[in-house]
Chains A and B, each alone.
Chain A
């Protein structure tokens, strides 16, 4: 008798849950969400206008810090290339280094071999501002690029040591990266041609 009542109670509970769950699930999800640290801060404080103005300031700051060619590269292609500083003798440095980096906003830094377009690795690095002045730890996209550029050009090893190293292709599509490298080559050829035509008498 008791066992039969128990079975009936369980069946009733299951049926009741099945009937009420569509109404309860969203509320349960919200309750779980509110328990997460920082819930609601990012959403409630997100202001698209403010973010746009922040990004505008960040682009101007980036423009004022990097070379004209690099600025135009970022403006036209959406990423920056920084040459690696390591290499043998005079082989290192701008234009002739054995490797280089591509810097994307809020994406891993990609190391590659310019001569062959072979992808080497991804360096995942963030610059989180834990003071969260407007609810978010993320810098504007162009500030993220500038921070990576400054850290790479100032102290490549220090930045790389702070990054998480992964094989190329873990987060970024290798075909998309190779496509960017090809686009960069085309862009440089066109730029050199334009500069050459301006210099011609």
Chain B
């Protein structure tokens, strides 16, 4: 699983990468996941819906991420614009 974060002036940045089936690596992923949420990021997981269409799921807890997810993408939380 890879944790990616969108950044102005850069595009996505790799925050962490690891195998959720390996306890140590999972802990590192959980720590990195929480750090991004603490910074005010939203976390989304790209998934394929039952009808075959691609979509995303917003997750607030590491446990909500499907175990087989390849990527979690962090992006700044939405704010009302002008």
Which residues of A approach B to under 8 Å, CB–CB?
45, 47, 50-51, 53-58, 61, 64-67, 70, 93-94, 108, 124-140, 143, 146-147, 149-151, 153-155, 158-159, 162-164, 171
Interface size on B, residues (CB 8 A): 29
Determine how close the nearest CB of chain B comes to the CB of A125; give it in whole angstroms.
5
CB atoms of A57 and B11 under 8 A apart: yes
Inter-chain CA distance A150–B82, complex, in Å, is: 21
Which residues on A sit within 8 Å (CB–CB) of B80? 124-126, 162-164
Q: Which residue on chain B has the smallest CB distance to residue A61?
A: B12
Which residues on A sit within 8 Å (CB–CB) of B81? 108, 124-126, 163-164
Which residues on A sit within 8 Å (CB–CB) of B9? 45, 47, 50-51, 54, 133-136, 140
Cβ-based interface call for B62 (8 A): no
Which residues on A sit within 8 Å (CB–CB) of B42? 151
Q: A153-B55, A154-B55 are in contact. List 11 more A-B contacts (CB 8 A).
A: A65-B73, A67-B54, A126-B78, A126-B79, A127-B6, A127-B79, A134-B10, A143-B6, A150-B75, A155-B58, A162-B79
Q: Which residue on chain B has the smallest CB distance to residue A57?
A: B11
Which residues of B approach A to under 8 Å, CB–CB?
4, 6-12, 39-40, 42, 44, 46, 51, 53-58, 73, 75-82
Q: What's the count of A-B pairs with C-beta under 8 Å?
A: 133
CB atoms of A137 and B46 under 8 A apart: no
CB atoms of A66 and B54 under 8 A apart: yes
CB atoms of A140 and B11 under 8 A apart: yes
Which residues on B sit within 8 Å (CB–CB) of A146? 6, 73, 75
Which residues on A sit within 8 Å (CB–CB) of B51? 93-94
